[in-house]
Amino acid sequence: MSLPTLPVDKALTALDHRIEAAVGCSVDQLWQHRERGLLDEPSSRLADAHRGLVRAETSVTFYRFMLRRLASGRFPVDQALFARIDRTVGRLQKAAAARDEHQQLVLAALGPVETMRAQKTIPEGAELRAPDFAALLAIAQGAKLHHHLLTGRLSVVTASGVRVTPSTLERLEEAGLVTRDESHPVQAGQPVTVTDVGRTTLAGVRRPGIAAAPSSPQPGAWPSTGRARS
């Protein structure tokens, strides 16, 4: 029985959320940036390793599906069924072992990217990049942090329709520019509002250290999640 071609971009891995937090975009966007040659070397290695992990996870999912199908009651309970179950279990074990190996490769590639992200996190009074300024402007129009029950992913949806990544939200929070209302459950949506410092930044009265938007993207920087409205 051969393994069919499955849509690997539909598979989720246990590391997706951590990867998205490190790179500042979705894993789908990470792959797109890789294909377009927009990534630096550490991020390219991470994208390649993640692609391999997704394929391995797809194989695990496939053989789990086959086991459920064999145990569904659609086949006679005989020695032929037992043999098919044994073969499928063996293949599932190999797929799981391969998945674990790919997961270690992803973790090895993820470490340097997380280190770079930690170094770029905006401390209070430090430089605010153009994409973060655009995200701050979108949040000022109204925003909520949501937790997707099926995928487990966090996302910030603004009133203008711009989606802000959790990593961008975290940077803005650490810089004291936005705050979340944690009295609301994240499953129902936590309101995200701009602080007095954030409003001052948007008004053009910049704090010391808040730099104007660069005229060209810096190496390794991610594209803006949305355009600020005029």
Q: Which residues contact 14 (CB under 8 A, 6 or more apart)?
A: 103
Residue pair 149/187 in contact by the 8 Å Cβ criterion: yes
pLDDT of residue 175: 82
Q: What is the mean pLDDT of residues 215-221?
A: 40
**Percent of the chain topping pLDDT 90:** 30
pTM for the predicted model, two decimal places: 0.51
Phi-psi region of 26 (alpha: psi -120 to 50; beta: other; left: phi over 0): beta
Cβ partners under 8 Å of residue 68, min gap 6: none
Task: Tell me the per-residue pLDDT of 138-167, one tens digit each, with 9 for 90 and over.
Answer: 898 889 888 777 766 788 888 888 888 888
Separate counts of helices (H) and strands (E) for the chain: 7, 5
| Beta-bridge partner residues of 91 | none
Q: Is 59 exposed, middle or buried (0-12, 13-18, 19+ CB in 10 A)?
A: buried
pLDDT in tens, 71-102: 998 999 999 999 999 999 999 999 999 999 99
What average pLDDT does the segment 166-171 reach?
Answer: 85
Measured distance CA(98)–CA(50) in Å, rounded: 13
User: Mean pLDDT, to the nearest integer, of 13-29?
Assistant: 86
Are residues 67 and 26 in contact, defined by beta-carbon separation less than 8 angstroms? no
| Confidence bin at 212 (pLDDT 50/70/90) | very low
